[in-house]
Protein backbone atom coordinates (compact mmCIF):
# COMPACT_ATOMS: atom_id res chain seq x y z
CA UNK A 1 0.00 0.00 0.00
CA UNK A 2 0.96 3.37 -0.73
CA UNK A 3 1.11 5.71 2.15
CA UNK A 4 -0.79 8.79 1.59
CA UNK A 5 1.26 11.82 2.10
CA UNK A 6 -0.75 14.72 3.08
CA UNK A 7 0.85 18.04 3.00
CA UNK A 8 -0.18 20.14 5.85
CA UNK A 9 0.39 23.81 5.36
CA UNK A 10 2.97 25.44 7.63
CA UNK A 11 1.37 27.29 10.47
CA UNK A 12 1.06 30.93 9.72
CA UNK A 13 3.10 33.01 12.09
CA UNK A 14 1.71 36.37 12.75
CA UNK A 15 3.77 38.85 10.72
CA UNK A 16 5.22 41.90 12.28
CA UNK A 17 2.77 44.68 12.39
CA UNK A 18 3.45 48.04 10.89
CA UNK A 19 3.62 49.64 14.33
CA UNK A 20 6.13 47.03 15.49
CA UNK A 21 8.38 47.67 12.49
CA UNK A 22 8.24 51.42 13.04
CA UNK A 23 9.18 51.06 16.68
CA UNK A 24 12.10 48.77 15.78
CA UNK A 25 13.36 51.22 13.16
CA UNK A 26 13.09 54.08 15.64
CA UNK A 27 14.98 52.13 18.29
CA UNK A 28 17.73 51.32 15.76
CA UNK A 29 17.90 54.99 14.77
CA UNK A 30 18.27 55.99 18.42
CA UNK A 31 20.98 53.36 18.88
CA UNK A 32 22.93 54.62 15.85
CA UNK A 33 22.60 58.24 16.96
CA UNK A 34 23.80 57.27 20.43
CA UNK A 35 26.78 55.43 18.94
CA UNK A 36 27.61 58.42 16.74
CA UNK A 37 27.51 60.76 19.73
CA UNK A 38 29.69 58.39 21.75
CA UNK A 39 32.12 58.20 18.84
CA UNK A 40 32.18 61.99 18.68
CA UNK A 41 33.05 62.24 22.37
CA UNK A 42 35.71 59.58 22.11
CA UNK A 43 37.25 61.32 19.10
CA UNK A 44 37.27 64.63 20.96
CA UNK A 45 38.87 63.05 24.02
CA UNK A 46 41.52 61.42 21.84
CA UNK A 47 42.19 64.75 20.14
CA UNK A 48 42.61 66.50 23.49
CA UNK A 49 44.93 63.75 24.72
CA UNK A 50 47.09 64.00 21.60
CA UNK A 51 47.17 67.81 21.88
CA UNK A 52 48.34 67.51 25.49
CA UNK A 53 51.04 65.05 24.44
CA UNK A 54 52.14 67.45 21.69
CA UNK A 55 52.54 70.31 24.17
CA UNK A 56 54.48 68.09 26.58
CA UNK A 57 56.76 66.87 23.81
CA UNK A 58 57.42 70.42 22.62
CA UNK A 59 58.21 71.46 26.18
CA UNK A 60 60.71 68.60 26.51
CA UNK A 61 62.26 69.47 23.14
CA UNK A 62 62.82 73.07 24.26
CA UNK A 63 64.38 71.87 27.54
CA UNK A 64 66.69 69.49 25.69
CA UNK A 65 67.75 72.15 23.19
CA UNK A 66 68.61 74.46 26.12
CA UNK A 67 70.62 71.65 27.69
CA UNK A 68 72.53 71.01 24.46
CA UNK A 69 73.20 74.71 23.98
CA UNK A 70 74.41 74.98 27.57
CA UNK A 71 76.71 72.01 27.00
CA UNK A 72 78.13 73.52 23.81
CA UNK A 73 78.78 76.93 25.34
CA UNK A 74 79.92 75.94 28.85
CA UNK A 75 80.91 72.31 29.32
CA UNK A 76 82.46 71.47 25.96
CA UNK A 77 85.10 74.24 26.02
CA UNK A 78 86.01 73.27 29.59
CA UNK A 79 86.35 69.62 28.62
CA UNK A 80 88.47 70.52 25.61
CA UNK A 81 90.68 72.70 27.79
CA UNK A 82 91.08 69.85 30.29
CA UNK A 83 92.03 67.42 27.52
CA UNK A 84 94.56 69.83 26.05
CA UNK A 85 96.04 70.41 29.54
CA UNK A 86 96.29 66.65 30.08
CA UNK A 87 97.97 66.23 26.69
CA UNK A 88 100.43 69.01 27.50
CA UNK A 89 101.13 67.32 30.83
CA UNK A 90 101.68 64.00 29.05
CA UNK A 91 104.30 65.62 26.79
CA UNK A 92 106.39 66.54 29.81
CA UNK A 93 105.59 63.34 31.75
CA UNK A 94 105.65 60.29 29.43
CA UNK A 95 104.49 58.04 32.30
CA UNK A 96 101.03 59.60 31.89
CA UNK A 97 100.71 58.47 28.23
CA UNK A 98 99.19 55.04 29.05
CA UNK A 99 96.38 56.75 30.95
CA UNK A 100 95.62 59.03 27.99
CA UNK A 101 95.84 56.06 25.62
CA UNK A 102 93.34 54.13 27.77
CA UNK A 103 90.74 56.84 27.19
CA UNK A 104 91.68 57.56 23.56
CA UNK A 105 93.14 60.98 24.31
CA UNK A 106 96.76 60.30 23.40
CA UNK A 107 97.95 62.68 20.72
CA UNK A 108 100.19 61.19 18.06
CA UNK A 109 102.01 63.81 16.04
CA UNK A 110 100.26 67.12 15.45
CA UNK A 111 96.76 65.71 14.86
CA UNK A 112 94.43 64.94 17.75
CA UNK A 113 93.09 61.39 17.70
CA UNK A 114 89.45 62.42 17.79
CA UNK A 115 89.80 64.44 14.58
CA UNK A 116 88.61 67.71 16.12
CA UNK A 117 90.94 70.59 16.72
CA UNK A 118 91.40 71.19 20.43
CA UNK A 119 92.23 74.68 21.64
CA UNK A 120 95.69 75.31 22.97
CA UNK A 121 96.21 75.38 26.70
CA UNK A 122 95.80 78.87 28.15
CA UNK A 123 98.97 80.62 29.28
CA UNK A 124 99.32 81.06 32.99
Domain ranges of the chain: 23-102
Chain segment 36-78, per-residue pLDDT in tens: 999 999 999 999 999 999 999 999 999 999 999 999 999 999 9
Q: Which residue intervals of the chain are DSSP H helices? A: 18-70, 76-92, 97-102
DSSP state at residue 74:
I
Q: What is the pLDDT of residue 5?
A: 66
Q: Above 60 in pLDDT, residue 119?
A: no
Q: Above 90 in pLDDT, residue 29?
A: yes
DSSP state at residue 94:
G
Question: Which residue, 123, 115, 119, 124, is CA-closest to 83?
Answer: 119
Q: What is the pLDDT of residue 24?
A: 92
* Distance in angstroms (rounded) separating the CA atoms of residues 39 and 35: 6
Is pLDDT larger for residue 109 or for residue 97? 97
Is the pTM here over 0.85, yes or no?
Answer: no
Q: What is the pLDDT of residue 106?
A: 84
Amino acid sequence: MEAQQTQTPAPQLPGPSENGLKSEVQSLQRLIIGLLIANLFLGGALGLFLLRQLFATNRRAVELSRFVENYRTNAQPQIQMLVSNLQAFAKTNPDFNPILAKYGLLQTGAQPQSGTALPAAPQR
